[in-house]
Amino acid sequence: MMAINPQITNLIIILGMMQVSKKIPFDDPQVLLGVRVLYIATNIIIAGVYLYLQTKINAKKDLTTLKYVEPAPMGSADEPKLITTTVHSYDLQQLRALWKSQLMGVGMMGVMHLYFRYTNPLLIQSIIPLKGAFEGNLVKIHLFGQPAIGDLKRPWKAAGGLMGMAGQGEPKADKKSIEQAERAGSGGVKEE
């Protein structure tokens, strides 16, 4: 069975929730309070999942060496850079990126709701980030116990933007790319 792309399901959820939110009386203080509580509760659940992931990652402390070539940023004349790290450090780095993304979303939602008085996005943002958190690679590996093979093999491909276009190329972990980066003199960058 073919899985539906998460971006497509997000679009379907957003369009559906936009229609539902038109019928919700946000003028009623009780309804507004309920939607605010829902938004806060989903963010607490996401924070709990991320904290649990951090304890699982630190408990495993997988010190397996991970080498990959990080592509140069799009439009940059820089050479691709060889990164040497551990699975533990890589997972913690990915978790920090998840925290940063979640906090940016909460900040933007705070401005939209508290400053601009938009209420409809509260409902959508109660569902999409929670869905995204449970679709993440770290959750699949550390929470659901899936093996890190196939699409879950580190380093992970960057999530594509609109229509799957990523801001830069994908990290490469094949032997040929790593040897080329080592010969080019960009090897040995160790991330802690």
**pLDDT (tens digit per residue) in 107-131:** 999 999 999 998 888 999 999 999 9
The Cα 81–Cα 171 span in angstroms is: 10
Pairing of strands 65-70, 81-86: antiparallel
pLDDT category of residue 181 using cuts at 50, 70 and 90 = confident
Contacts of 152 (CB under 8 A, 6+ apart): 137, 140, 141, 146
Give the H or E element holding residue 69. Answer: strand 65-70
Main-chain dihedrals φ then ψ at residue 86, nearest 5 degrees: -115, 160
Mean pLDDT of all residues in the chain?
87
What is residue 137's three-state secondary structure? Answer: helix
Select the more confidently predicted residue: 82 or 76: 82
Pairing of strands 189-190, 81-86: parallel
Q: What is the pLDDT of residue 162?
A: 47
pLDDT category of residue 180 using cuts at 50, 70 and 90 = confident
pLDDT of 166 higher than 60 = no
The Cα 68–Cα 181 span in angstroms is: 9
Q: What is the pLDDT of residue 51?
A: 98
